[in-house]
Structure 1
Amino acid sequence: MTGIRDVAREVEMSTATVSRALRGLPGVSEATRSRVRETAQRLGYVPSPSAAGLASGQTRTVAVIVPFVTRWFFAAVVQGAEEVLRERGYDLLLYNLGGDPAARHRVFETSLLTKRVDAVLVLSLKPSPEELRRLEKLGRPVTIVGADLPGWATVRIDDHDAAVTAMEHLLGLGHHRIGYVGGDTEGVLDFTAPVERLAGYRDALRAAGRSPEPGLEANGEFTVGGGMRAGRELLERPERPTAVFAASDEMAIGVLRAARELGLRVPEDLSVIGIDDHEMAGFFDLTTVAQPAHEQGRVAAQQVLHALAERNWEPDQVLLPTQLVVRRTTAAPALRPGRGGGRRGR
């Protein structure tokens, strides 16, 4: 069986240098690292994770705590993080909460993470003070994706600003009666985006001289199905909105389906805008505020790896930009909405 000494002999380097190159540790040039990895692959040498962990005190594993792994945004962030971790020889240990508060308790408030991982990524959850205390007690690098937590490493977009951008686009087109489809702003998982995006929607209305109407706000659960139900709720109102801002593209797609079932033309009878630039947004010609979901995962992984390599590392707060992408689901309102939800002539 090929061992690390065989690889070191082949490349004429010390076993310590070969070990550092294969584990992605600093102090090795990229040329050397590439040469060592190519030689190890050619000789069929596979490092033992357990042996490396015993020798270095590291597990070569990073935990990722995700609320719903099946949602597009979370999957995109995880994919970005996994790419970076894999490049550096780390494994990703996924903790999918699945919306279950008991699962959150098990991960945060027990010793589940102790001795299993070298670092932790937390996606779109704002940890409670007690959870932050437990994360700090781990003594491992932690990066929070999607939350603003001073003193902690974070990667996020400005959710409030993204919502204002979407609303200013609709208001600029001449829409005044604008519905909102979002998610619960209170709950055991404490998502960060629903609160900030709802606040952005309301603040944009106030800035335009209009008062928010609770009857124009509906819970779409951040899913396509929820968006459909919320869309029907808004569009079947006697005084329906001329436009709908959905706090995610998946909900916006649900609103588009609801409009179609009610015989409404988009954008002639109804304008719809979302946030994300979901992989299906282009297929639906959906106007949206694009956020770099994949890049958030990459940056978060880079942060914890940098923290593992640098003793004096200081937590960094990274704010990534968003961008309005105008497609064919938004236009100036052509008609004053009548009563009922069916199609009307010009």
Structure 2
Amino acid sequence: MATEAGVSISTVSLALNAPGRVSAATRRKVLAAVDALGFVPKPDAVARARRGAGRVGVIAPHTSYATVARRVNGVLAAAAARPVEVVLYDQRSASESTSPLLAALPVTGRLDGLLVVSLPLDDGVAARLVGLGLPTVLVDVRHPGFDSVGADDEAGGRLVAGHLTGRGHRRLGFLGEAQRTGVYVSPSGRRLAGFRAGLAEAGHDLPEDAVRFARHGVAPAAEAAAALLSGPARPTAVFAADDVLAAGVLKAARALGLRVPEDVAVAGFDDGELAEALELTTVRQPLEESGRAAMERLLRRLESPTATPRDTTLALHLVERATT
């Protein structure tokens, strides 16, 4: 393995067991050697020979996003009455292309099945999962050849566009989460695309200077929203790509002395305790249901590995509250 990759044995060990501690280039060389040699660690080979052990991995940014934690709660609820062990792996950010942990996990995880939640799946990792025969279901992301469960983010953006234009708004703005890569289209990007399409259908555009992006968090969102709301042609309504970003917009509006919704209306996306507390108009997506449905689908996949992959799209609903 080390010879094939052109690195030391200790570097191979780091790349497989602590992938964040080696460079991306080194990690790619080691994983290419893994694929070329068909390597499976001995404990993993034993695990693959088991039947009925039910060890399922869930990799997700569940400590970074409350919405993802709710999806994982649905996964755990579905697994509670089953003879299955659930192992959680935390990838802190969903704003990157593919995590080192996700790239190495199919080789080192000793798993019978895998749920990938709110993390993009690149072609290399997808090929490794298929090559190793590891049953995998995606949640909130999609990739050809894999079962997936999620919502239609573009449809959610259209819902907000229809609601705000129906309220008479003509100058609109958007605040999304900044991405560190352009390799994939994020949920924020899909919601923006749907919002633009919905506005176009209503005869309105969304100027580039009315679109802002910020790191995920109330403070960064408030800073970006303050710039958006301080211009001479400030929007009278802002769609934020999730409820945390919407909270930042509300904070910025308050600091600028703007009344909500009289001076600026604000809508978010997700719907949870934060949205309820802020009386925020938002798009409700079935987060716990998506986790439950994904786990049920994975358990069926474990029983029938050759079944045709299926994409399940869950319904979204606009919840109107005081901010619009």
TM-score bucket (shorter structure):
0.7 to 0.9
Give the whole-Å Cα distance in 1 for the aligned partners of 2:197 and 2:143.
22
Give the whole-Å Cα distance in 1 for the aligned partners of 2:238 and 2:165.
11
Give the whole-Å Cα distance in 2 for the aligned partners of 1:55 and 1:213.
57
Name the SS for the 1:164 alignment partner: helix
Name the SS for the 2:258 alignment partner: coil
Q: Please, what is the CA RMSD of the aligned residues?
A: 2.5
Hey, what does 1:262 align to over in structure 2? 256
Residue in structure 2 matching 1:73, options 67, 77, 86: 67
**Cα displacement (A) at 1:159:** 0.3
Deviations 1:257-307 (A, max 9, x none): 111111111111110001101222111111111000111111111111111
Give the whole-Å Cα distance in 1 for the aligned partners of 2:215 and 2:226.
14
Give the whole-Å Cα distance in 2 for the aligned partners of 1:147 and 1:82.
19
Deviations 1:144-203 (A, max 9, x none): 111233321000100001001011100110001011000235517846302211111221
Alignment of 1:181 with 2:175, yes or no, is yes
Contact kept in structure 1, 2:214 and 2:221, CA below 8 Å: yes
Give the whole-Å Cα distance in 1 for the aligned partners of 2:101 and 2:315.
34
Residue in structure 2 matching 1:107, options 102, 110, 129: 102
- Cα separation, partners in 2 of 1:74 and 1:189, compared to 1, 3 Å: farther
- Cα separation, partners in 2 of 1:185 and 1:208, compared to 1, 3 Å: farther
Q: Which letter maps to 2:160? A: A
Give the whole-Å Cα distance in 1 for the aligned partners of 2:72 and 2:188.
20
Q: Which moved further from structure 2: 292-301 or 201-210?
A: 201-210
Q: Which letter maps to 1:254? A: G
Residue in structure 2 matching 1:196, options 190, 198, 205: 190
Alignment of 1:211 with 2:205, yes or no, is yes
Contact kept in structure 1, 2:64 and 2:93, CA below 8 Å: no
Give the whole-Å Cα distance in 1 for the aligned partners of 2:300 and 2:165.
43
Contact kept in structure 1, 2:268 and 2:283, CA below 8 Å: yes
**Cα displacement (A) at 1:91:** 2.1
Name the SS for the 1:219 alignment partner: strand
Contact kept in structure 2, 1:146 and 1:156, CA below 8 Å: yes
Hey, what does 2:280 align to over in structure 1? 286
Give the whole-Å Cα distance in 2 for the aligned partners of 1:115 and 1:203.
42
- Cα separation, partners in 2 of 1:94 and 1:103, compared to 1, 3 Å: farther
Hey, what does 2:309 align to over in structure 1? 315
Alignment of 1:241 with 2:235, yes or no, is yes
Q: Which moved further from structure 2: 166-175 or 78-87?
A: 78-87
Q: Which has the larger radius of gyration?
A: 1
Contact kept in structure 2, 1:146 and 1:192, CA below 8 Å: no
Name the SS for the 1:318 alignment partner: strand
Q: Which letter maps to 1:171? A: T
**Cα displacement (A) at 1:315:** 1.8
Hey, what does 2:298 align to over in structure 1? 304
Contact kept in structure 2, 1:84 and 1:298, CA below 8 Å: yes
Structure holding more helix per residue:
2
Q: Which moved further from structure 2: 86-95 or 239-248?
A: 86-95
- Cα separation, partners in 2 of 1:104 and 1:188, compared to 1, 3 Å: farther
Name the SS for the 1:282 alignment partner: helix
- Cα separation, partners in 2 of 1:189 and 1:229, compared to 1, 3 Å: farther
Contact kept in structure 1, 2:106 and 2:129, CA below 8 Å: no
Residue in structure 1 matching 2:58, options 61, 64, 82: 64
Percent identity reads 36
Contact kept in structure 1, 2:75 and 2:291, CA below 8 Å: yes
Give the whole-Å Cα distance in 1 for the aligned partners of 2:248 and 2:214.
9
Contact kept in structure 2, 1:219 and 1:226, CA below 8 Å: no
Name the SS for the 1:281 alignment partner: helix
Q: How many residues align structurally?
A: 279
Hey, what does 1:335 align to over in structure 2? none
Hey, what does 1:220 align to over in structure 2? 214
**Cα displacement (A) at 1:222:** 3.5
- Cα separation, partners in 2 of 1:107 and 1:311, compared to 1, 3 Å: closer
Name the SS for the 1:283 alignment partner: helix
Deviations 1:193-251 (A, max 9, x none): 02211111221222222232111111133322232122111111122110100010111
- Cα separation, partners in 2 of 1:145 and 1:55, compared to 1, 3 Å: closer
Hey, what does 1:145 align to over in structure 2? 139
**Cα displacement (A) at 1:68:** 4.9
